[in-house]
Chain A
Amino acid sequence: MSRTWARRRRGTDGQTAGNGELGIRIENVSVEYGSRNSAAVVRAVDSVSFDVAPGEFVALVGPSGCGKSSLLMSVAGLTPYVGLITAQGRKIKGPDRSVSQVFQAAGLFPWRTVSGNVQYGLRIRGDDRATAKARAEEMIEMVGLSEHMNKYPHELSGGMQQRVNLARALAVDPEILLLDEPFAALDAQTREDMQVELLRIWQETKKTTLMVTHQIDEAVLLADRVVVLSRGPASRIQDTIEIDLPRPRNEDVKDDPRFIEYSHRIDDLLRRQRMSRPERRTA
């Protein structure tokens, strides 16, 4: 299969950086995990290929344990892989400066205030205190936490913590944003609020985004394209579904009959995955 689905939608067509194209390119990528010394290596993802075009939002869904998070960790440069992953045309050999990530576990520094957390990436790359502070304030305002600038993470709710996490990831103005089930630990109501919030922020910033999720409605609401992985181990791409819903979207899109249709289709695909290889039964 050639990469015919790599559609350039957002007017950045033809731009290249270095020796490759913008966005994320994943080509024949396999990710294995297992202890370094033991022979028991599990192939989580087997020879997967897809692209995320600049400014595109792609959601990666699949049955639990299919290795979608491992794949994302590889794109983040935090897990070794076989094959080729490029971000903004650069091969991923480790964390890349164009990529920011938000993980499920908030990963906020408990000893830093909201502002301190958001400043972290800026300070690390060498911004001076004043610049970092101003930029952090801007980001915190964007996620609606201006009143909580000087609070510590333990004083915030789970939803607020993930807002800080998002602000921290976006503060360094990355070209690419990776999201690993960012709202999975939140309660249903907060999760819905955060999805809408992320939708708004993404539409403002138009970052190239790859998100792993197991919430089908979350994927359909946010993504331009949903990549469905098959059951692991050695999972492959089962199908790719274009979500042809108008932008900008808001939560009303959930009432659109097409939204429901897409959700059903993805649900069907995942259900078929679960059926295909029945769980081992106890004798």
Chain B
Amino acid sequence: MMATLTDAKAPSGAEVSRRTTTLPSWFASKERLLLGVLGIVLLMAAWQVCASLKWIDPFFTSSPKDVVSEAKTYLTSPQARTDLRTSGKEFVMGFAGALVIGIPTGIVLGWFRRIDALIDPLLTFFYASPRIALMPLMIVWFGIGLQSKAVIVGLMAVFPVIINMAAGVRTVDRHLINVGKGFQASSLQMLATIALPASLPSLAAGIRLGIGQALIGVFVAELTGATAGVGFTMNQAASNFQISLVFVTLFIIAGFGVVLTLILRRIEKVLTKWQIQ
């Protein structure tokens, strides 16, 4: 009796739950993403409505429609290709330099207390100073070409990388270090097998901050002595009141940052899959 009752009920219950939960649960799992997209759509719609109804002057503010049509024109022009190549080179060279210099420097500062004490005041000084203001000096030292711009990008990005890398190495769990000591690991062995893996999440945070700083660097570097680049075009467009083009270039720079950050998140997830999610 009991058996038949439950038997009869079980499949229908499963069916009902399947029918009622799949769609909402899909929404639930994507809720953040959907709401995020909705936020962007609402802002764009509001912008478009304000511009269309002339609540704001489209000459100064443009509108999503104008931005899209401007994007089509710009992105198919040879100018866009040159801009992207130029800015891309500056970013890649500067950022790669920041990683190549920043990661080892951070490791050394984090692991060797004396070197840290030696370098820390200098680091604080340069970190606190507006490095963008060094652009004129960089032009004097490295010329107006790619080199000076890559150096500024690198200078912007290198500090978050150094500081986070060093902090990660410095704050390794004392218990883990004791485990290494207990097994007679040498200082370098402990650095390689304990401090470095433990500070990967911290390094990832530093690189994420570095990407943002590097993009600022690209824009600022192209304000002076540049002949091409996304930042250069943005600056030119603003001086000529081509507001739509300003937004197009803005979205290119921001979109580039977002995409890089997403890629980095992926890599980070794979490398730190041992962390509690």
Number of A-B residue pairs, CB cutoff 8 Å, is: 57
Residues 94-105 of chain A: 1 if any B CB is under 8 Å from the residue's CB, otherwise 0? 110101110101
In Å, the complex CA distance between A123 and B179 comes to 13
Report whether B276 and A109 are in contact in the complex, using a CB–CB cutoff of 8 Å: no
Interface contact A111-B272, CB-CB below 8 Å: yes
- Is A152 interfacial (CB-CB < 8 Å)? yes
Q: A78-B178, A105-B175, A109-B176 are in contact. Are A121 and B274 (CB under 8 A)?
A: no
Does A1 make an interface contact (CB < 8 A)? no
Contact, CB under 8 Å: A110 / B274: yes
Are B183 and A95 closer than 8 Å at their CB atoms? Answer: yes
Q: What secondary structure prevails in chain A residues at the interface with B? A: loop
A111 to B274, CA, bound (A): 5
- Inter-chain CA distance A144–B82, complex, in Å, is 63
Q: Are B185 and A154 in contact (CB under 8 A)?
A: no
* Contact of A154 with B276 in the complex, beta carbons under 8 Å: yes
Q: List 16 A-B contacts (CB under 8 A).
A: A76-B182, A77-B181, A78-B181, A95-B182, A95-B183, A95-B184, A103-B178, A105-B175, A110-B274, A111-B198, A112-B274, A120-B183, A124-B189, A152-B274, A154-B274, A154-B276
Least Cβ–Cβ distance between B177 and chain A, in angstroms: 9
Within 8 A of B (CB), among A71-98: 76-78, 94-95, 97
Q: Which 3 A-B pairs have the closest CB atoms?
A: A121-B183, A111-B274, A107-B175
CA distance A100 to B181 in the complex (A): 10
Residues of B within 8 A of A (CB): 173, 175-176, 178-185, 189, 193-194, 197-198, 200, 272-276
Q: Which residue of A lies closest to B186 (CB)?
A: A124
CB-nearest residue of chain B to A168 = B179
A181 to chain B minimum Cβ distance, whole angstroms, is 13
List the B side residues contacting A101 at CB < 8 Å.
182
Q: How far is the CB of A209 from chain B (nearest CB, A)?
A: 15
- Bound-state CA distance A183–B277 (Å) is 26
Cβ A107 vs Cβ B275 within 8 A: no
Cα of A123 to Cα of B274 in the assembled complex, Å: 20
- Kindly identify which residue among A103, A111, A112, A124 contacts B183, using a CB–CB cutoff of 8 Å: A124
Binding site for B on A (CB under 8 A): 76-78, 94-95, 97, 99-101, 103, 105, 107, 109-112, 120-121, 123-125, 152-154, 172
* A152→B275 CA distance, assembly (Å): 9
Which residues does chain B contribute within 8 Å of A120, judged by CB atoms?
179, 183, 193
Contacting residues, chain B, for A172 (C-beta < 8 A): 183
Chain B residue at smallest Cβ distance from A97: B184
Contact residue among A76, A94, A95, A109 (Cβ-Cβ distance under 8 Å from B194): A109
Indicate which residue in B193, B197, B198 contacts A124 across the interface (CB closer than 8 Å). Answer: B193
CA distance A99 to B176 in the complex (A): 17
Let me know if A109 and B178 touch, CB within 8 A.
Answer: no
* CB closest chain-A residue, reference B194: A109
Query: Chain A's nearest CB lies how many Å from the CB of B9?
Result: 35
Cα(A153)–Cα(B194), bound, Å: 15
Q: Supply 20 further A-B pairs (C-beta < 8 A) apart from A95-B181, A111-B198, A120-B183.
A: A76-B182, A78-B178, A95-B183, A103-B175, A107-B176, A107-B178, A107-B179, A109-B176, A110-B274, A111-B274, A120-B193, A123-B193, A124-B185, A124-B189, A125-B183, A125-B184, A152-B273, A152-B274, A154-B275, A154-B276
Q: Which residues of A contact B179 (CB under 8 A)?
A: 107, 109, 120
Check B182–A99 contact: CB distance below 8 A: yes
Instruction: Report the minimum CB–CB distance from B221 to chain A (whole Å).
Output: 38
Residue of A111, A125, A153, A154 touching B197 (CB-CB under 8 A): A111
Please measure, in the bound complex, the distance between the C-alpha atom of A110 and the C-alpha atom of B183, giving whole angstroms.
17
A105 CB contacts on chain B under 8 angstroms: 175
Bound form: Cα–Cα A125–B182 in Å: 11
Which residue of chain B is the closest to A154 with respect to CB atoms? B276
In the assembled complex, the Cα of A4 lies from the Cα of B273 at a distance in Å of 54
* Contact call B184/A100, Cβ cutoff below 8 A: no
CB–CB B181/A124 < 8 A: no
A109 near B197 (CB under 8 angstroms)? Answer: yes
Chain A's nearest CB lies how many Å from the CB of B168? 13
For residue B193, which residues in chain A have a CB less than 8 angstroms away from its CB?
Answer: 109, 120, 123-124
Docked CA distance A110–B179 (Å): 13
The smallest C-beta distance from A101 to any residue of chain B, in angstroms, reads 5
Provide the residues of chain B in CB contact with A125, threshold 8 Å: 183-184
Question: Are B184 and A78 in contact (CB-based, < 8 A)?
Answer: no
Residues of chain B lying within 8 A (CB to CB) of residue A107? 173, 175-176, 178-179
Contacts of A154 in B (CB 8 A): 274-276
| Residues of chain B within 8 A of A94, CB atoms compared | 181
Residues of chain B with a CB closer than 8 A to A97's CB: 184
Nearest-CB distance from B154 to chain A (Å)? 29
